[in-house]
Every structure is written in structure tokens, then in C-alpha cells.
Amino acid sequence: MNEISRRTLLKSLTGLGLLLAAPVLVWKGAVAAEARFSYGDYAKVLKTYVDDQGLVDYKGLRANRRPLDAFTAALAAMDRKLYDKWSGNQKIAFQINAYNALTLVAIIANYPIKPSFFRGLRFPKNSIRQIPGVWDKLQFPVMERKTTLDGIEHNILRAEFNEPRIHMALVCAALGCPILRREPYSRGKLGDQLDDQARGFMKEPGKFRIDRKDGRVYLSPIFKWFGGDFVNVYGTDKKFSGFGQTERAVLNFAGRYLDPKDRNYLEKGSYSIEYLTYDWSLNENKP
């Protein structure tokens, strides 16, 4: 082989090697980017102040809020350019964790919650609903910009990602919410974590239940408020005849997390749908 041929071959092999390595380099870059943001402080908060039922020791957290403050400071200082490099699952996990952590911040900033006269007539006295503007007025710094809880939920998670299972993970500090998980959401485990949340949600009678005797299926109001979010992923025309597009999607979603007997009833049974009353009581664990 002459010198020119040898050089041509080396260039070809080098180019092929770079092409083969590219996916690995991209994956390593994503992992490195995620590693530069730590959920360690938030993990400590969840492990220390949240019990197995998802109830929060707000009194204890308020007395020792340093890990939570450290995590919220990290949210504020997060580099948006770094965030933009993340995968969809990384971004979803970050935003869910931000929402849930900042909800904790809002509660302990107003703990013990003092009810107003008019709100006290409609909602429990210890409810997050007693805090004025908690979702749309209170602002928190995230990635060097101010945002609200509504901004995270509606303008980012619901608007940018086609992932209705977020409604099984966002916790608004009420007993009617999904339970607060005792670990942060993460890129690698997000799918399993969201499925686990949905499975647990469907097991709670206050959020989902079937009454065969009366021919009724009771759903959490979450599925009424956000039912449209389930249509793109779980919509179907083949099952749940007699119901509208949104209800069919919700029933199709719910059935995935039920035992075969209950799933078969949803698909073939004769029943009406009713929505449960949302429990706005604080998700508090009082040791």
C-alpha cells in the first residue's frame, strides 16, 4: 500500500470511529450535564420529612429548612443553557421536582396556615387554598427567572411535554393530590416512577373506585380538570362505548393500572361516571 492510500484509509477509519462514537459522546454529555445539578438536598428533605403515606412533617421542616433552602437556591442558580441540553425526561423530572419543592416552600412560609373568613367557609382551615395567590401570584426564582407554580405546571409541563402522567406526580399539598414521593424524580427512573404513582393513585378509594352494585365509577376531579391532557396518549375509539372522547381516554389510562377484573369492568361494564369531592386538607403528618 502506497503512502497516499494509507493516509486515505486512516482518514476513513477515523471518520467512521467518530460516527460510531457520536451516540456515546452525546449520552455521556447528557449524563455529565445532569450530574452538574444535584438533587441531594431535596432527597434529604423527602427522606426526612415525608412518611410512607406521602404526608409531610411541616413543623419539623420549618424548624430545619436549610436543605430545602439549599435546593431552592440551586433551582434559582440553574444554568438555562445546561437545562436546554437535557433530554425530555430530564426536563420533566426537573420541573416536577421544582414544583413539589416550591410548594413545600410556600407552605412552610405560611405555616401554621391561618384561614381567612371567606376562604374558611369553603375550604379546610389548614388548606393551601387559604394562602392568597399561592399558584398564580407567589413568584420563585428558577433558572435565574421568576416563575409561579402555575407557570411550571401549565406553561411548561403541560404546554411543552406530551406526558399526562405528570398529574400523578404534581403535589399541591392537599390530601386529594397524589402522594408526595419520598425520592426525587430522575431521568433514568421517570417512567417507572410515574407508573408507580399512577398505580398507587388508583388504589386510593378517595381518588378512584368502582361501585358495581350502583353501577358507578368514581374518579378524582383531577381527571375532570385535566382530562383533555390524556387524549393524545390514551385516546381510543375501540373501547368504553357510550362515553365522550375525554372520558374514554381517562378510562383507558386508569385501566392500565387496575387488576384484570376491574379493567374488564371498565371496558365492558354498564356504569356511569361520577367525580369525587377533592380533599383540600393539608397533607400533613403530625408526629
Print pLDDT tens along the chain (287 aa).
555 455 554 454 444 444 344 444 334 444 444 558 999 999 999 999 999 999 999 999 999 999 999 999 999 999 999 999 999 999 999 999 999 999 999 999 999 999 998 888 899 999 999 999 999 999 999 999 999 999 999 999 999 999 999 999 999 999 999 999 999 999 999 999 999 999 999 999 999 999 999 999 999 999 999 999 999 999 999 999 999 999 999 999 999 999 999 999 999 999 999 999 999 999 999 87
Q: Which grid coordinates belong to 124? A: 379546610
pLDDT at 23 (0 to 100): 44
Lookup: cell for 67: 436543605
- Can you say whether residue 213 is alpha, beta or left, with left for phi > 0 and alpha for psi between -120 and 50 degrees? alpha
Give dist(CA 55, CA 70) in Å, integer.
22
Residues in the chain, total: 287
The pLDDT value given to residue 118: 86
C-alpha cell at 135: 399558584
Q: What nine digits make up the cell of 12?
A: 476513513
Q: What is the pLDDT of residue 3?
A: 52
pTM for the structure as a whole: 0.88
Fill in the amino acid letter for 145: R
Q: Could you give the CA distance from residue 145 to residue 155 in angstroms, rounded to a whole number?
A: 14
The alpha carbon of 5 is separated from its chain's Cα centroid by a whole number of angstroms, namely 57
Place of cell 426537573: 94
Check residue 7 and give its pLDDT: 55
Long-range CB contact pairs, 150-157, < 8 A, 24+ = 152/95, 152/98, 152/99, 152/102, 153/99, 156/95, 157/92, 157/95, 157/96, 157/99
* CA–CA distance, 268 with 238 (Å, rounded to integer): 11
Q: Which DSSP category does 205 fall into? A: T
What pLDDT shows up at residue 6?
52
